[in-house]
Amino acid sequence: MSNVKLNTLPVPTYSWLGVNDTQRELDAFEQETVSLGGDRNIIDVSDSSAFEISAQGGENRLAVMYINSEKSAQIRTGVEVGESSAVKLVQVFEGKAQTVASVNAKLSDSAKFELVQLYLGTGDTVSEIDTELSGRKAEFTANIGYLLAGDDKLDINLIARHLGRKTKSSITAKGVMDGCSSKLFKGTIDFVNGSVGAVGSENEDVLLIGDKVINKTVPLILCAEEDVEGSHGASIGRVDEAHIFYMQSRGLPEEKVLDLMAQSKIAQIINTIGDEDTQKNINAKLGRGNEDE
């Protein structure tokens, strides 16, 4: 086991902010790579694993991973999307053990990669997403949701590298933090020289419930090309007391009101999955039965 530097910010900032990187003690990674070649793959991941997803020649692939390990685990996923092909990857993190996950994707001309991640109580999770939009008109969409409570720790580093012309990226994160949980979300849109006409956007919406939560949001746009369009924003706030009072006047206890607000945030991400069975399964895990949102 050795100390490994993870989630390194592409351009470092002041070290006292504590966002340039994170470190964890990790075992040597020796797992063989499993290829997910079917049109629809649903798998349970309970230990360190490596996966590869490839779509070529106009193929469309869906992969859903339920990640829940009782011991420290490393999960690595490589994604290659060929010309005019599409991949949707859904990852649901549920375990309380230390988890280090990475997604590395490469997109060709007119390729589409959609990533949906849900962190439903993470224990200690470090997650890195690195997507290269190499091909012309390649598109990357990321929808990330998290429900953190207790002493949950979540560290996400997402990088969208625009190399090709007229590429597009859209990054959305929504989450709720309670208890003594802590979260760091670093979202980088990198317009590399030559990415003429590229467009990238990033937005995070965080609801803080607990008084002792620690939230860090680090949006970053790097620009080495003039003819591009990039935007980022963040909405971070606490529960509106007037809203709680109104709901209580309608007969709902405060605990139920907070739960409904949290469920509403995460439901917006669940609805982007687009696979009915998967959405029903996740709603059941959250105690929402098979509701249609």
pLDDT digits (tens, 9 = 90+) for 121-176: 778 999 999 999 999 999 999 999 999 999 999 999 999 999 999 999 999 999 99
pLDDT over threshold 50, residue 228: yes
Residue 246 has pLDDT above 70, yes or no: no
**In this predicted structure, what is the pLDDT of residue 163?**
98
Using pLDDT thresholds of 50, 70 and 90, give the confidence band for residue 210: confident
Residue 158 inside a domain? The answer is yes
Tell me if 72 is assigned to some domain. Answer: yes
- Residue 292: pLDDT over 50: no
Q: How confident is the model at residue 293, as a pLDDT?
A: 43
Q: Is the pTM of this model over 0.85?
A: yes
Q: Does residue 233 lie within any of the structural domains?
A: yes
With bands split at pLDDT 50, 70 and 90, how would you rate the model's confidence at 95?
A: confident
Residue 203 falls inside a structural domain: yes
Question: Which domain does 6 fall in, by range?
Answer: 2-239
Structural domain contains residue 112 = yes
Q: Are 240 and 207 in contact (CB under 8 A)?
A: no
In a domain, 45, yes or no: yes
Q: What is the mean pLDDT of residues 62-73?
A: 94
Q: Angle, nearest 10°, between helix axes 276-285 and 254-270?
A: 160
Structure-token match 């590399």, residue found: 192
Distance (Å, rounded) from C-alpha 83 to C-alpha 74? 30
pLDDT at 243 over 90: no
Percent of the chain's residues with pLDDT above 70? 92
Split into its structural domains, the chain has a count of: 1
Does a structural domain hold residue 280? Answer: no
- DSSP3 helix / strand / coil % (the chain, rounded to 5): 15, 50, 35
Mean pLDDT, the chain, rounded, equals 91
Instruction: Give domain status of residue 264, yes or no.
Output: no
- Is residue 199 scored above 70 in pLDDT? yes
Pair 244, 214: CB distance under 8 Å: no
Nearest residue to 255 via CA among 180, 182, 178, 183 = 178
